[in-house]
A and B are shown apart, each in its own frame.
Chain A
Amino acid sequence: MAARAETPVPGWQRGRVASWFVTTDHKRIGILYVSTSLVFFALGGLMALAMRTQLAQANAGVLSPQHYNELVTIHGTTMIFLVLVPILAGFANFLVPLMIGARDVAFPRLNALSYWLYLLGGLVLMLSFFAKGGAAQAGWTSYPPLSEQTPGHGQDLWILSLHILTASSVAGAINFIVTIHNLRAPGMTWTRMPLFVWSIEVFAWMLLAVLPTLSAGLTLLLLDRGISIGGWHIQTHFFNAAKGGAPLLWQHAFWFFGHPEVYIMVLPAFGIISEVLPVFARKPIFGYKAVAFSTVGIGFISMLVWAHHMFTVGFPNALNSFFMITSMAVAVPTGVKVFNWLATLWRGNLHFDTPMLYALGFLSVFVVGGLTGIYLAAFPVDWQVHDSYFVVAHFHYTLFGGVVFAIFAGLFYWWPKMFGRLLDERLGKWQFWILFVSFNVTFFPQHLLGLEGMPRRVYTYSHESWEGYNMTSTIGSYVMGIALLLFLWNVVRTTRRGPRVGNDPWQADTLEWYTTSPPPPHNFDSVPYVTSARPLHDLRQRLREANGTRRIS
């Protein structure tokens, strides 16, 4: 890339705080994304703990029905839109240019805009608790007519927040696609690209494909709720059956976005696992192409499965059958990944640093979430478990046991690259084991509650026979809280005292480890010519050969 003439930075932008506000450096924006999402993660987690407290016992009065419904709505919306998607976007921001040997993303200022829009959208959602009538109360899926009948402005602010976040994500997605297509290092063909970058490529295309549907749905919902501009009042009836509208139209629009959204969160998590496992098994990923193409396959099929969220609305069985088969088809490329990961471990030299523990924990737990998905795809069985706690357990196994475990693998793995210091391994391992156990204690019993007939999104219940599982789940959730505090403690402790590391503490394979930790603003002084999917491994090999100390492996 031709050297750009650097305009001198004005003095006021160079301050320790101000520089973060004006930065267009993808690494700093990545760190902003990650840290902001962690703050929202804490807030969303506190909401979950409040709900678990209310549900620990039958007929409890800790939360009023309205507060419970607000929390259930904002917890879900927060975790998906303000935590999982943006933290993965944060990883992508930090890592993609480094992994492909680029100086920055293609559009650095657009990148900054994405972040600030994200923060704005998040603030709008959080502050909606203070709106007239409280926050939105119709669940993260906000089905009309309920979401159109809630008084107050919480629901309107929810719509506004999602509109802002959608704009942010679209800008980010375009940026990632253009970056990946144009700025790869010499020699980095598509099949030499790190698997995490593959996952971000698919992540970005999926966002572009499905977010417009969400935006359209949100706009219709807003118009249905009615808007006043000056003296004009606009009120439509897209989802209002009384005026000839169709409530199901929203569900189609929402889930055409909503199901791919699950994979928008899961695929980058898969990408992280595909980077971490080979490094800590000291082997190349088993079946690179199968893993890369299964990412594309999952992305594509996931856009054909949305109505499996609507099996109980009374579709003809032919339609249900179509969506059952497409939903089951997603399991095939997912299975390919799981077995390829297992084969990556085979005959490896495994060492169990915290990133590896989280990656292995991910494998063991994600399988459960994947397998319970089959019950939901088989629509007659879904008629029984749909909208019950079985579903709540299922998606927490995929999104917490899956995505959050992968995120922790990624945090412990790339932390030294981001900040130049390792996180404390001892604390990290404690955190892993506590989280692994408490996660299962929290969410496994919820499968059983669902099968016993407990619906999701209820602020209370009167069956005393449900109390045992609910109490167990609540205790588990508190312990999860402790595990997450340990992470916070780890971050605080190692910020100043963590051991400093060199370029490549894990002897990893990909280009981000070629530069210093943390990398300089321009990332690389030079980038080696890429000859395989493991450029750093090749480099070490060549060095050893040059030194005449080649080991036969």
Chain B
Amino acid sequence: MASSVRAKLLLAATTLALLLVPAAYGGNGGFVPVTPESPNAHDIRASYFFITFFTLGVFVLVETLLVVFIFRFRRRRRPRFQDGPTLHGATRLELLWTALPVAILFLIATFIFIELPGISHVPSAGATGRAYQIKVTGRQFYWQFEYPNGVISIDSMRAPAEVPVKLTVVSPDTDVIHSWWIPALGGKIDAIPGIVNTTWFEAKPGFYSGQCAELCGLEHARMLASVEVMPKSEFTAWLSQRRAQQSAGTSDLGDEEWGGVCAKCHGLAGEGGIAVRIAGSAILSDPRALAKIVRNGTSTPRGTMPAVGSGWTDDQVSALTTYLKEHPPSGS
């Protein structure tokens, strides 16, 4: 008997080792949420640690009792069907292990309520000024960012450092549900047709990435987002420069639209992907036809294209047509 018990112990140890190996080569390991770079993400991680303190304790308690009981009360040489003592219960013990979880959960809930304001309330001002607002629109399968001065960018957001950035997160009525999530900058918030949600972050200069967290269709996995936080003066300079370029039709918007809106389905060179090959298509060089298909979508026997650009301004459409005129997709 003892040898089989030893074999089982060995197996348990192997399991543990097998669990720790991937942990070791995963770097930070993923045992805690990604390093927070914004106060809300920081407080979420603090809550995570607080909960982990108790869950680890309960885990160790239960598993230890289990293993100890398995060893201590195994059959050994007793007859197989010999009964153990007839213990039907013990009210005081049972009250104890009802009260214990209640106490732990009470502590956890209290901690959450203490941390909550720091996580969900958008501060009105930060280290270097008043809160800054950006509108985030989740669409199949791209993120559109609108800045107060009308600048638009796709998939990559830029934001000022050390200022609370308040995000208004929406999805058009005709689209589906998406979820905005940049792990280092806080929790996720859904973009739901018909609902206006908000979230915020305040970060040091850096590059933070994330992706859509609510299944939104075929290219959900490619609906990535990045936030580049830059010193406030640099950001202001970029924003006004981009404003001027956008009016002149020389901004990167067309490039971003091609990569973020068209290429996820049609391929970066227009070679086709989950949607048809469009390299060489006459529509690409016909601004009117292109505007029509982007704004209204189309339904042909070859497939259906959603109205990916419904609601786009003329600026947005012409950015794409100009870009495609200058950079016709090569097809390979």
Binding site for B on A (CB under 8 A): 64-66, 69, 72, 137-139, 143, 145-146, 149, 151, 241-242, 245-248, 281-284, 286-290, 312-314, 317, 321, 324-325, 328-329, 331-332, 335-336, 338-340, 342-343, 345-352, 360, 363-364, 367-368, 371-372, 374-375, 378-388, 433, 436-437, 440-441, 444-445, 447-453, 455-462, 465, 468-469, 472, 507, 551, 553
A139 touches B215 (CB 8 A): yes
- Identify the interface centre among B18, B82, B174: most chain A CB within 10 Å of its CB: B18
A347 close to B73 (CB less than 8 A):
yes
Nearest chain B CB to A223's CB is how many angstroms away?
Answer: 18
With A65-B219, A282-B83, A388-B213 known as contacts, the answer to whether A444 contacts B88 (CB < 8 A) is no
Query: Which residues of chain A are near B173, meaning CB under 8 Å?
Result: 241-242
Which single residue of chain A is at the shortest CB-CB distance from B184? Answer: A453
Is the CB of B84 closer than 8 A to any CB of chain A? yes
Inter-chain contacts of A246 with B (CB < 8 A): 194
Asked if A383 and B189 sit within 8 Å, CB to CB, the answer is: yes
**At the interface, yes or no: B29 with Cβ under 8 Å from chain A?**
yes
> Is B301 on the interface with A (CB-CB < 8 A)?
no
CB of A117 to closest CB in B, whole Å? 29
Interchain CA distance A149-B21 in the complex, whole Å: 43
In the complex, per-residue mask of B55-88: 1 if CB is within 8 Å of any chain A CB, else 0: 1001100110110011001110010111111111
10 tightest Cβ-Cβ pairs between the two chains A and B = A383-B187, A448-B30, A241-B194, A241-B193, A458-B221, A242-B173, A287-B89, A314-B197, A339-B97, A371-B55
A331–B215 touching, CB < 8 Å: no
Residue pair A340, B94 in contact (C-beta under 8 Å): yes
18 contacts between A and B (CB under 8 A): A66-B218, A69-B215, A145-B177, A146-B176, A242-B193, A247-B194, A248-B192, A312-B187, A328-B105, A332-B101, A336-B94, A338-B62, A343-B90, A345-B73, A346-B73, A380-B120, A469-B26, A551-B82
Assess whether A331 is in contact with B221, with CB atoms less than 8 Å apart.
no
- Give chain A residues whose Cβ lies under 8 Å from the Cβ of B256: none
Q: How many pairs of A and B residues are in contact by the CB < 8 Å rule?
A: 300
| A553 touching B194 in the complex, CB below 8 Å, given contacts A145-B176, A380-B47, A437-B11 | no
Partner of A468, one of B26, B109, B213: B26
Residues of chain B contacted by A364 (CB below 8 angstroms): 62-63, 66
CA distance A437 to B11 in the complex (A): 8
Q: Which residues of A contact B187 (CB under 8 A)?
A: 312, 380, 382-384, 386
B186 within 8 A of partner (CB): yes
Instruction: Give chain B nearest CB distance to A547 CB in angstroms.
Output: 15
Q: How far is the CB of A147 from chain B (nearest CB, A)?
A: 9
Apart from the given pairs A368-B59, A456-B215, 9 other A-B contacts in the complex at a CB distance below 8 Å: A143-B177, A241-B194, A247-B193, A281-B84, A287-B94, A313-B195, A345-B66, A387-B188, A387-B213
Residue among B54, B87, B109 with the highest chain A CB neighbour number at 10 A: B87
Q: Is B214 an interface residue (CB 8 A)?
A: yes
Contacts of A457 in B (CB 8 A): 215, 220
B37 CB, min distance to chain A CBs, angstroms: 13
Report the Cα distance A336→B215, complex, angstroms. 36
B residues near A289, Cβ cutoff 8 Å: 89
Q: A151-B304, A349-B83, A378-B51 are contacts. A312–B189 as well, Cβ < 8 Å?
A: yes
- When C-beta atoms are compared, the residue in chain A nearest to B89 turns out to be A287
